[in-house]
Amino acid sequence: MSGIVTLALATGYSAYEGRKARIDAEKAQKRALQQQTIDAEAMRTEVAKQTAEYAKQSTSLQQQSDIARQQFDAAQLQYKENKLAMEQKSKEVQALADEERRKAASSEASALKARTRGGRRSLLSQERMTPELGVESVALSPGMRLQ
C-alpha cells in the first residue's frame, strides 16, 4: 500500500506541478499579451505623432511650393511685360530711324535735283527754303519780278 500511496502522492504532486506550470504559463502569456498591447499602443501613438509631423512638413513644403510658383509666375509676367515694352520701344526707335532716313534721302534727292537743274531754273536762290514753296515776294530784290 505504501507503493500505491507513494504513487498517488507522486501522481498528485505531478498533477499539482502540472497545474501550477499551466497557471504560471497562462499568467506569463497574459503578461506577454498585455505587454504586446501596450507596445502596440505605444507604436500607434508614435506613428500618429510621426504622421502629424509629416503632415506639418508636407503642408509647409506645399506652402513653400505655392509661394515659389507665385513668385515664378510673377517673374514670368514681369518678363513678358518688359519684353513687350522693349519690343514696342524698339519699333518706335526703328520707326524714328526710318523716318530720319527717309527725310535724309528726300533732302539729299532734293539737293541733287537742285544741283543738276540749278542753271535752268530761276527760282533756285539762297532765300528759298523749300522747293515746293518757291521764293516769297518779300525775298525778291528790287527790279526782279515773278513770271
Residues near 41 by beta carbon (within 8 Å), at least 6 away in sequence = none
Boundaries of domain holding 87: 2-116
- What is the model's pTM? 0.42
pLDDT score of 110:
83
Residues near 125 by beta carbon (within 8 Å), at least 6 away in sequence = 135, 139
Question: In the chain, count of helices (H) and strands (E)?
Answer: 1, 0
Residue 68: inside a domain:
yes
- Which DSSP symbol is given to 139? G
Residue 144: inside a domain:
no
Query: Beta-strand (E) ranges in the chain?
Result: none
Average pLDDT score over the chain: 83
1: confidence class by pLDDT, cuts 50, 70, 90 = low
Residue 59: inside a domain:
yes
Mean pLDDT of the 105-128 span: 68
Residue 103: inside a domain:
yes
3: confidence class by pLDDT, cuts 50, 70, 90 = low
Closest CA to 33 of 41, 21, 47: 41
C-alpha cell of residue 66: 505655392
Number of domains, the chain: 1
* Residue 133 pLDDT > 90: no
Residue with grid cell 540749278, as numbered in its chain: 118
pLDDT score of 127:
53
Helix (H) or strand (E) holding 94: helix 2-116
pLDDT score of 64:
97
Distance, first Cα to last Cα, the chain: 177
Residue 129: inside a domain:
no
Convert the pLDDT of each residue in 71-107 to its tens digit: 999 999 999 999 999 999 999 999 999 999 999 999 8
Residue 36: inside a domain:
yes
Residue 20: inside a domain:
yes
Residue 88: inside a domain:
yes
